[in-house]
Structure 1
Amino acid sequence: MSTDHQQYSTANQSQAIREYAARHGFRIEKTYEDSGKSGLNLDDRDALKRLIEEVQNGTAEFSTILVYDVSRWGRFQDADESAYYEYICKRAGISVRYCAEQFENDGSPVSTIVKGVKRAMAGEYSRELSVKVFAGQRRLIELGYRQGGPAGYGLRRQLIDVNGSVKAELIRGEHKSIQTDRIVLVPGPDDEIDTIRFIYDAFVGQGKSEAEIAERLNGKGIVTDLGRPWSRALVHQILINEKYIGNNVWNKCSCKLKGRRIYNPPERWVRHDQAFEPIVDEDRFRAAQHIICERCKRYSDEELLDVLRGLLEQHGYLSGMIIDELECGPSSSAYRTRFGSLIRAYELIGFTPDRDFRYIEINRALRRMYPDLIMIAIRGIQEIGGLVRQDLFTDLLTVNDEFTASLCLVRAQETMAGSFRWKVRFDAGLRPDITVAIRMNQMNSAILDYYLLPRFEMESARLALAENNGIALDAYRFDSLDMLFELAARSQLMEVSHELGSIH
């Protein structure tokens, strides 16, 4: 559950499931519970991930999974993702039952149709809720109330009631407890206000740079609101944030339905000017913005990448902080705006971060899927009477001693233009006769299709598949692994044919 109505609380779900189990003669062996977690994707669903993992590795000590209803399995935005996780259980011989639904999950055409509709409705509920929440938050911003996040250095969050009367000052980590209460920003302690004004005076009046200001603050022993030393980036953020002149600005960036974070253009920002008591007068703030704009240079894409290359050569690695600490140069936000993300900019200069947070869960899921796919291929070949050997170190499959095949899972990657690409790398060391490229769907949640790519047709070490590739490549595209099994059968028939020919 996340923040649904009380009828969907985990306690109520548990009671309904236990009553269902008693009516149907089940004994509950284990409970998996994701309290306070969104069902939009698998990222935060640690209990569901643990359940799926136990099912896949064969350690599950149960025969049936009882779920309150279809929406509690997940409100996945791609209904196929929900079906995929259920199919994993079904493939392992473990059934999934929905206790509060009016249909039996028995695989009949009616139940399949109803379940598909329910899955779509569950996803649509989240989309509709997202629109309503956004509209509500927008309205509160336009009324001058603060929405989420810490106040920042020099400011504090003040709690007011529905009539606008002051109730209390919220410290870091505290939240309002009454729905009708609201939060506004007020000036913080005098010493922090003096520091804010010193930053603007030094920058506008004395011509000091952000790095010089940070050095002077650290020299005086002044720390940030988090008790940390000052940096160029922190000083720069204070110089460009409109909250210090009392403006309430929201929706500069957004991340809806657990999707990718995007930076919105100014025309999509939601704002209420002069919502709070200002710390800095507007003329001084505008003067700071003018200085920052004047020193900005319009970089070409290649110039931006050259700056990154220089920073990489200097530091040996890259991060948003390193980019923002550059005295005269583009900020990390400039790279996000131009290339869509910092990761994309890093890719263009050949730098790979130690941790790519966007892909960690995807890569983990693909690694978990891979052994199952190998076993599916082996069993499929054996079921048609073929002989197959698996190299336990490389997973290379040798079929009927006639040809070799290698399976590779290919992740979908979104381009800057919004289309998708699947990058296939051919193993030059193994040199399989056939590379089975298994493409994931755009959400990387389920298999999209299979490309059986013969080595003699592939001239380069890499291949980028698009959504539509033309007859030259799509001739090798299939909806299942059946063609691989047919190749194994043909190979076996050819071998038998040769033997009969020699007897003749």
Structure 2
Amino acid sequence: MADNVIAIYLRLSCEDTDINSKDESNSITNQRNLIMEYIKSDAVLSTYTVREYIDDGISGTRFDREAFEEMMTQVKEGNIQVIITKDYSRLGRDYLEVGRYLEFVFPVLKVRYISVNDNYDSNNFTGATGGMEVAVKNVINMMYSRDASKKVRSARTTLAKAGKFIGPQAPYGYKRSESDKQKLVIDEEPAQVVRLIFEMAIEGKKYKQIARYLNANNIDTRVQYKERHGKKWNHPRNYEIKQWSASAVMNILFNEIYTGTIIYGKTACNAQTGYKSKKMNPDSWIIVENCHEPIVSKQTFEEAHKVINKTTCNRTKKQGSYKKAIIICGCCGKGLANSYGYYKCSCNYDPSKYNCRNVRMKTEEFEAGVMQYIKTTAAGMLEHLQAYKRQRSSCVELQKEIDKLQQMKSKAETQKFQLYDDYTKGIVQRDIMISERTRLTEHIGEIEIELHELESKIQLEQCIDKAGEEETIELLSKMETFDLDLIRQVVKRITMYDDGNIQFEWNVDDFIQVK
């Protein structure tokens, strides 16, 4: 582990206007240059090791960004001491969540945070994060994000009505035209696979049978094809196993873009679940035909659907109720299904290579085990937290001690300066000056250590006073029925492995473990 490490965090939203580079935008480059110049200009920071974390094309209103989560994991493990961003908005545009990190998470994890353009350095504040100025800037960032989203949606709607392709990634079988990035042209190699899938469907093959055939013949998936051609792939879930699945085959068979038709507005952002979406009424869809060269004819598309005997992708849940899976397969990383009395992985991978089929457990057994573990853990945390709160000092008392130490430090620094001034005037001899300055320097160092301990303690006290987690922990400790919505508030991921072992990954705060 490096002793001194700086994490520079760079983020660009898909709604920003300067995404024009193949690998990363000029905005990312500008952020990097600005931060590196800042680091070089600081005598202390310039000696640190620099690590870079980039989320390119990810909205600042969500905090489940891959690079951001990786960085926070390293912070929690003590591998990062400083985080630097260009400004607050690069950290995020949700003012409540940004405030929580500045006031709650970063201080408890003892990481220094610097926002270059905002002239903010957490080392220059005692138990605070810049006050009203920071809060106002965070609110403005959130309002900007909402306004930008409305403008982007309006512009995208206009482009969609004109028959332009506005998706972030070209569909499997297509690529963007070199002359017009909003027009699709056929990419022949994967297009042959798309035609094969439709042909097999017309022959009566089921989704799983088609997926098995593609996997058995080592045909690249969309991700594998892009990676083989050196293209960047941004996806919220980077599965370790990349193979064809029944759902991937179904998505191709039901995508009318392969007939030359573009449909926009099938889904919309769901405010309740943030990054998830809800299905929209077909009457509100924007449908434009003959936008690009089709890979399959409308006749082929319709014939395949007649054999499939399914004209819509039926859903069992209400619109807007979908949430990110937190019960995960330990073999492939995909969400487990709860059906027919079992939690199990429904992926149809080659059993000679992958053990997804062995990732299964009776629903009652799994939920009872998870509940027991969470209840026991939550009860222990609650008891520990309450015991600490009974023993702790008040913030007022701690602040009095801090003020007293700061006065002592100021007095010692004044004496140190006066001593050198007396030496230059010939009032004090050199050896006495050196001896006294050494003593005062050691004394100031001792005061700073004590100040740091008290400031950390008062930050922790403030965190505990604000912590809404205590109520959640209490509910979890008394949980009688398996409540996944309650569990997901504090559990990031529950992974089930093929040997029956279950692993828990808590959310970023880890309940703010007080020791």
TM-score by length of 1: 0.48
Which one has more relative contact order, counting CA pairs under 8 Å at least 6 apart? 2
TM-score by length of 2: 0.47
More helix by share: 2
